[in-house]
Amino acid sequence: MTGFQGFPDEGLVFYEGLEADNSKTFWTRHKAVYDGCVRAPVQALVDELAGEFGTAKLFRPYRDVRFSHDKTPYKTHQGAVVAPEGRGPGALYVQLSAEGLLVGGGCWRLESDQVARYRRAVADDVQGPRLRSEVDRLTGAGWEIGGDRLVRVPSGFDVADDRVDLLRHRSLHAARRWEPTEWLHDRGALEEVRTAWRDLAALNTWFADNVGATTAEPRARR
């Protein structure tokens, strides 16, 4: 039988061990477990979902420690993201760790031109209420709303009270988490991710329609 068959428990145990001993010695000794019980099933999961949602990119397991006070070399989770090209913000995310499964969607970072368009859309009397309604719906369905926010409301905007908190956002995303459970180890995990990603479609469409891709120059790679 081919395709995604669940996340083996050994993968979660691997991350428990990596959290306790984030070293090259541990990584080298257990890399075969990472390859077979973490990376392979995550790849199989997103491959099965690609026909509906697009091709996902798996993140590297190595941390960039050059500019970080935390010098531990390895990430303690495996993430994958679907970010359709040309539509701007509105990504889909899935992550496996010792804590279980996390799915998310929305935008994690906006450039200055995108922030400006986002604020204008929130202030708009048609598009602003649409975002408010969708964020409220997701919250009611158990999603956690996060993102980079200003302490104060930016000046120059006059919005209804129920949209003031949205105006403070410089990015906005939704996430849902599941602790380790039986369905994580079978194809039930595939259906949970599929259902969750479908639930994020309206949020991502709002961002694509109202914010779009950045016109800023690409950031220089450090």
**For 142-186, what is each residue's pLDDT tens digit?**
999 999 999 998 988 888 889 999 999 999 999 999 999 999 999
Per-residue pLDDT for 1 more than 60?
Answer: no
Amino acid type, 198: R
Q: Is 177 exposed, middle or buried (0-12, 13-18, 19+ CB in 10 A)?
A: middle
Q: Residue 72: CA atoms inside 13 Å, Cβ hemisphere, count?
A: 12
Note if the pTM is more than 0.85.
yes
Rounded Cα gap, residues 153 and 164, in angstroms = 7
Query: pLDDT, tens digit, for every residue of 56-84?
Result: 999 999 998 887 888 899 999 999 999 97
Percentage, residues of the chain above pLDDT 70: 96
**pLDDT score at 88:** 75
pLDDT of residue 219: 57
pLDDT given for residue 218 in this prediction: 57
Q: What is the distance between the alpha carbons of residues 80 and 4, in angstroms, rounded to a whole number?
A: 15
Using 50, 70 and 90 to split pLDDT, how confident is the model at 91? very high
- Residue 188's Cα: distance from chain center in Å? 20
Mean pLDDT of 184-209: 97
How far the first Cα of the chain sits from its last, in Å, is: 43
